[in-house]
Every structure is written in structure tokens, then in C-alpha cells.
């Protein structure tokens, strides 16, 4: 394992019903392929050494003896492999027959886990042959060449060389139960649930199965491997599709259906533990006293080089919906949540107006669109929005024109307040030269704009709607008591990449109904991100934010993994290389990663006194909500680690 990633697989061998030697060979072939691909945990289907559809042959000792010999064959063939393997077979114990998962490591049986509930269907199904394990805690099972392991209904499996990986096992219909075993397994510390299944295929069942697996992984904050029986099972009455699934915290990472073979991916147990640390439902997997729970620990071993190679998809824009088909619903939801927050604040304060500083840039555009939606929710005219453009030394004709057209198309009351003379007077008062284009030159304009907004809000009985976004808050790219301040910040939990996405969505939605609004939004999208605080060069924007602080695409990626998940710099860097190396080179990624950590720590004081604003996604930097950090915390540990990266 490296950086919390564990390579796992679900496999469906092509079997023959009741041909145990053949089935053992098929399983061994899949195990060998998984080993070559660096897999550490492999799950094979329910009763795969015999076939699930043996029927009354399960009552024949000949079949049961054949299954035991097949298990011995698999044990001997895998004695050299540092891999946890779960595969299914019938097991005799305590005078009963149980449908079990055998959990193997280096040729040793760590334990047999029985199916805890036999489905209460007709006698045609399993309860005709197998006993349920609800009342069973343990029984001994003789295995050639090994001390008798324990047959357990409640068993966890752990690897000392793979921190945070603790495995629980349930079998097929156990997942369909109202209280599946995985609930208790996860509460006891399991971060990975392995399900050995033989689920027959029916119309619509695949969707339901997929929802069950993804939903269970989300509820339990775990990874979930579902290995399904497939080709080779009897089709006398049923069809088995080999619907294999690997999920992590609600997301399907890998899937296959109507085929045999392996699906392989990595699960991120560090990510799961990051979530569990915030949830007191789960015990520590290192607790000494687990009550009736047992833990079987495998021996330590060196990792295979292939285990460090990531195959799972890493989204380059983690804040942006990856599924284009889901885009409209997601954008509508984000806009509605933000607008609902502003609606409540406007109603509570009885504000006569909502005052928005409109620069012609992305952030203020989104703030205006959200404010317009809030007014619609309140049943108030959009003329109650006061949109102010405040040109000064860096304003270009393009952004000024876009601000005016945008306000007109939205239906807001538009005003222009040229702050140039006021800023010059202020500079004379404090002795600031107009030729000194320093931070004072820039911030003086930002603070003057905020003063104008606040005073206009007072004059009109209104409140100032903030425009700053989550990315700017993370980097501290805001003037303290300038654009940093407002009476309600609607964009406060929306990162820059998502701001762009939302504005593009509104442009698309208005393409047919309001082409002028759509056109101005597209021009705003094409305008370089800039605070426009330095004089333009030949009429063009001279100050481009991403040239100064770095690409927002990178910073949003760093923000998501470093803050949302708490990953260390080495892992954030590795993920960025995986997701973005085709767009940015290693040197570029590393350069801006250093800048991200430096700025994030240095600028916390601005986040410690943020105005109120709605949380719309999984991350916010509000000091009253998700992020509580001292303003004088040192970045030494993080920067030291960044310096070691190459």
C-alpha cells in the first residue's frame, strides 16, 4: 500500500457445476492474474468451488469432499502469495452444513465466515440445504495441514502492513436483509466489506443491486467488493450475469456484467478513515477489547511494485459534476441552495434592496444570478437588486460594458459610481503616490468599493451581497475589509472551477429564450480572471490572477484533497500527477502546490472573520462550520514535506 491506496479485485471464474477440481483450477488462474496485477485483496463468488446451482447435490458427501479437496488445492497453489483471498464453498461443522466464505492468506485459512441469514424463500432455495448462522458463534473445522480454524459469524481480518485496512465478510442475500451483517462489521471497525454472491439476473435487478452496493458503502463509509457468480452456473431456471462491483463511499469505482474475469481498482482507506474520524458511530479498528469480535491478522510482507500503480480514475475537476447528464440537476440544486440562503437573510433583515458590486467578472456575475433567483423566490421584483459598477484605474471597457448589459438582462437597478477621484483624494491624504503601484495602490481601490457598497446599502435600506468564492478564500486572494467583507456571501462555498461551470450552465439555459444574456455570460466566461486594480495596457487587462497565484484548476484540486480529505502533500501531489499531468507538467504542479500551502496557512486570519454564507457542497471554510483553524498556525510540517517532492 502507498498513500492509503489498496489494490483490490472482484473475480468471476468460468466454472462447471459440481466439477470441483476444474473450478479450483479456474480460481487459481484468476488468483494468479490478480497477483500479477498487484492485487492485495481478491473476492471470488459464493460457492464458486462447487457452483451455486448444485441443488440437492449439496446433500452428497462426494460433492462436499470434493469441495474440501478443491480448497486444499487452492491453498497449496497460493501459499507464496501475499494476498487475502475470499472464495465460497459449502462447509460441514457442528453437524450442520453452512454456505461459507473461506478467507485465505499465504495458503492458510484465516477463517470460515458463514452466511448469517438464509433467505426465507421457498424450499427450492438455500434453506433446503444450508443452516443459517444467526445463532452460531464458533465451531471447529478440520483443514489438512493446518490447525483447525474457527468457523465464525463475526470475524474481522486485518493486515499489520496495511494501516486502516480491516476486512469484514458477508454473503449474497445478507446484503438484502434489513440489518445486514456489514452494518455490525463496519461499526466494529471494518473499512472493507467483501461480499461473495450468486445473485440471479432479472430485469431491473442490476440497477437495484448497484444501488444497494453503492448505498451500503456510503452509509458505512467503507469500500465494498461484490463478486457475483456468472457463466458456468446452471441455467435450468435462472441466469447468472457475473455482475461484479467495487464501490467506495457511495461511488462505483469498477463494474462488469455478463462476462468472466477480473475487475481491478484501488480503494483509498485513508480517505475512508478521514470521513470516519468525523463520525462517532464507528469504533477504532485498533481497539484491544472488541467483545465478541475476533480479529485474524496476516503476517507482514513486502509490497509488490505493481501495488503502487494507480488504475482508478482521478477526476481533474473534483468539484465539478463529472456526468454531463447530471449537470442540469446539480447546477439547479446549487443555485437553489445558495438562493434559498440569501432569501432567508433578506426576509429576516427586511432588507429593501440587495446590493451587488458588479465588476463584469465571473464571481460577481454568479452572485447577481443567485440574487435574482432569491428575489424570484420571495416574489419581489428584480429591480430591488441594486447592481453597482465602480470603475477605477484598472477597469477595462469590456468588463464595464458586460456589467451594464448583464444588469439590464437580469432586470436589476443599475448604477455607476466612478471611484477614481475618491481614491486619489484618499491617496493624497495618506501620502500614497499614484506612480507607486504597490499593494496599497490595489487595496485602496478594493476598500473604497466596499465602502461605497455598504453606504449604498444603508441609503437604500438594503444589504451587501458578497461575491468572493471558496478558491479565493483558500488562497487569501481578497483584500481584508475590502472584497473580503459583505453582509452575506453567497459564493463562499463555491470554488472557482464550479463558478465557471454554473455561469456556463445559465448561459446554455438561456441560449434560446434570452440570447443577449447568454452572449454576455459567454463573453464574461472568456474574460481573464482579474481584480482589475492595475492600469490596463493598450485597453486590455494587465493583471491576470492566475499568472500571480496559479491556475485555479490546480488550486481547486489541491483544496479538495488537502482540506476536504486531509491528505498529506505527497498524496495530493501524486493524485495531481495522475489527474492533471497531461495538462500541467510536474514542475508546474509542484510550484503551485508549494504556493497553495504557503498561502493557505498565511491567510487563515481572513477566514477567521468571514461574513455568513451558505454551504452548498461538501466543503466550506467558514470558521463557524467545517473549518476551525488558528490564524497563527505554522505551515512548517507541510512545507517540509512539499520540499521533498520531485
Tell me the residue length of the chain: 646
Picking from 398, 415, 410, the residue whose alpha carbon sits closest to that of residue 361 is: 398
3-class state of residue 156 by DSSP: strand
C-alpha cell at 564: 476536504
Count of alpha carbons within 13 angstroms of residue 638, beta-carbon side: 23
| Active-site residue list | 46, 115, 172
CA distance 335 to 230: 45
Residue 311 contacts by C-beta under 8 Å, 6 or more apart in sequence? 7, 264, 265, 266
* Cβ burial 466-490 (10 Å sphere, 16+ → b, else e): bbbbbbbbbbbbbbeebbbbbbbbb
Confirm if 11 and 261 have CB atoms less than 8 A apart.
yes
Confirm if 103 and 78 have CB atoms less than 8 A apart.
no
Q: What's the angle, vertex CA 593, arms to CA 587 and CA 599, rounded to 5?
A: 135
CA distance 113 to 153: 6
Measured from the Cβ of residue 567, the count of other Cβ atoms closer than 10 Å reads 22
Picking from 160, 180, 173, the residue whose alpha carbon sits closest to that of residue 222 is: 180
Q: SS3 letters for 508-561?
A: HHCCCCCHHHHHHHHHHHHCCCCCCCCCCECCECCCCHHHHHCCHHHHHHHHHH
Name 105's bridge partners: 84, 108
Picking from 113, 111, 30, the residue whose alpha carbon sits closest to that of residue 78 is: 30
Picking from 308, 305, 285, the residue whose alpha carbon sits closest to that of residue 297 is: 285
Confirm if 238 and 259 have CB atoms less than 8 A apart.
no
Residue 551 contacts by C-beta under 8 Å, 6 or more apart in sequence? 584, 592
C-alpha cell at 470: 471558496
What are the backbone angles phi and psi of residue 616, rounded to the nearest 5°? -115, -20
3-class state of residue 94 by DSSP: coil
DSSP line for 112-139: EEE-S------TTSGGGT----SS--EE
C-alpha cell at 252: 462505483
CA distance 336 to 214: 26
C-alpha cell at 463: 444589504
C-alpha cell at 172: 449474497
Amino acid at each position: 500500500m502507498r498513500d492509503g491506496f489498496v489494490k483490490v479485485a472482484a473475480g468471476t471464474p468460468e466454472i462447471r457445476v459440481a466439477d470441483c477440481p476444474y473450478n479450483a483450477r479456474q480460481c487459481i488462474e484468476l488468483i494468479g492474474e490478480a497477483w500479477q496485477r498487484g492485487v492485495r485483496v481478491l473476492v471470488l463468488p459464493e460457492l464458486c468451488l462447487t457452483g451455486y446451482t448444485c441443488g440437492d447435490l449439496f446433500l452428497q458427501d462426494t460433492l462436499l469432499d470434493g469441495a474440501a479437496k478443491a480448497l486444499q488445492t487452492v491453498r497449496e497453489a497460493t501459499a507464496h502469495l501475499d494476498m487475502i483471498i475470499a472464495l465460497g464453498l459449502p462447509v460441514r461443522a457442528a453437524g450442520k452444513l453452512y454456505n461459507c466464505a473461506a478467507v485465505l492468506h499465504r495458503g492458510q485459512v484465516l477463517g470460515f465466515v458463514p452466511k448469517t441469514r438464509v433467505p426465507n424463500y421457498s424450499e427450492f432455495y438455500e434453506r433446503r440445504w444450508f443452516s443459517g448462522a444467526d445463532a452460531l458463534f464458533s465451531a471447529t473445522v478440520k483443514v489438512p495441514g493446518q490447525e483447525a480454524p474457527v468457523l465464525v459469524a463475526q470475524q474481522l481480518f486485518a493486515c499489520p502492513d496495511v494501516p486502516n485496512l480491516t476486512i469484514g465478510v458477508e454473503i449474497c442475500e445478507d446484503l438484502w436483509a434489513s440489518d445486514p451483517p456489514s452494518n455490525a462489521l463496519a461499526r466494529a471497525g471494518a473499512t472493507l466489506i467483501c461480499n461473495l454472491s450468486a445473485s440471479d439476473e432479472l430485469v431491473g435487478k442490476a440497477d437495484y443491486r448497484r444501488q444497494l452496493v453503492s448505498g451500503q458503502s456510503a452509509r458505512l463509509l467503507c469500500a465494498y467488493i461484490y463478486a457475483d457468480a456468472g457463466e458456468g452456473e446452471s441455467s435450468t431456471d435462472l441466469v447468472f450475469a457475473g455482475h461484479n462491483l467495487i464501490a467506495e463511499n457511495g461511488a462505483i469505482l469498477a463494474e462488469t456484467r455478463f462476462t468472466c474475469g477480473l475487475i481491478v481498482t484501488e480503494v483509498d482507506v485513508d480517505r475512508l478513515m478521514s470521513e470516519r474520524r468525523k463520525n462517532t458511530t464507528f469504533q477504532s479498528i485498533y481497539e484491544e477489547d472488541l467483545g465478541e469480535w475476533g480479529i485474524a491478522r496476516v503476517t507482514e510482507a513486502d509490497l509488490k511494485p505493481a501495488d503502487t500503480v494507480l488504475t482508478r480514475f482521478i477526476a481533474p475537476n473534483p468539484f465539478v459534476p463529472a456526468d454531463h447528464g447530471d449537470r442540469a440537476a446539480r447546477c439547479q440544486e446549487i443555485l437553489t441552495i445558495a438562493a434559498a440562503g440569501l432569501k432567508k437573510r433578506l426576509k429576516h433583515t427586511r432588507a429593501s434592496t440587495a446590493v451587488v458590486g458588479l465588476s463584469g467578472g465571473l464571481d460577481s456575475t454568479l452572485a447577481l444570478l443567485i440574487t435574482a433567483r432569491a428575489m424570484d423566490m420571495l416574489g419581489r421584483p428584480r429591480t430591488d437588486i441594486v447592481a453597482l459598477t465602480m470603475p477605477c484605474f484598472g477597469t477595462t471597457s469590456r468588463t464595464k460594458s458586460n456589467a451594464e448589459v448583464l444588469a439590464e438582462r437580469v432586470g436589476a437597478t443599475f448604477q455607476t459610481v466612478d471611484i477614481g477621484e475618491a481614491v486619489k483624494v484618499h491617496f493624497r491624504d495618506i501620502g500614497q503616490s499614484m506612480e507607486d503601484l504597490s499593494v496599497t495602490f490595489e487595496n485602496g481601490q478594493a476598500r473604497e468599493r466596499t465602502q461605497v457598497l455598504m453606504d449604498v446599502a444603508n441609503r437604500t435600506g438594503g444589504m451587501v451581497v458578497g461575491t468572493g468564492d471558496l478558491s479565493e478564500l483558500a488562497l487569501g486572494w481578497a483584500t481584508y475589509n475590502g472584497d473580503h467583507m459583505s453582509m452575506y456571501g453567497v459564493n463562499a462555498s463555491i470554488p472557482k472551477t464550479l463558478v465557471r461551470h454554473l455561469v456556463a450552465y445559465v448561459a446554455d439555459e438561456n441560449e434560446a429564450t434570452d440570447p443577449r444574456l447568454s452572449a454576455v455570460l459567454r463573453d464574461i466566461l472568456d474574460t481573464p480572471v482579474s481584480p482589475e486594480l492595475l492600469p490596463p495596457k493598450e485597453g486590455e487587462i494587465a493583471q491576470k490572477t492566475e499568472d500571480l497565484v496559479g491556475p485555479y484548476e490546480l488550486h481547486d484540486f489541491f483544496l479538495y484533497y488537502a482540506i476536504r480529505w486531509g491528505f498529506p502533500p505527497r498524496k495530493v501531489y501524486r493524485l495531481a500527477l495522475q489527474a492533471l499531468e497531461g495538462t500541467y507538467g510536474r514542475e508546474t504542479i509542484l510550484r503551485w502546490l508549494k504556493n497553495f500551502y504557503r498561502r493557505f496557512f498565511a491567510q487563515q486570519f481572513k477566514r477567521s472573520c468571514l461574513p455568513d454564507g451558505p454551504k452548498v457542497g461538501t466543503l466550506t471554510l467558514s470558521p463557524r462550520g467545517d473549518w476551525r483553524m488558528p490564524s497563527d498556525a505554522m505551515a512548517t510540517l507541510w512545507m517540509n514535506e512539499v520540499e521533498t517532492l520531485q
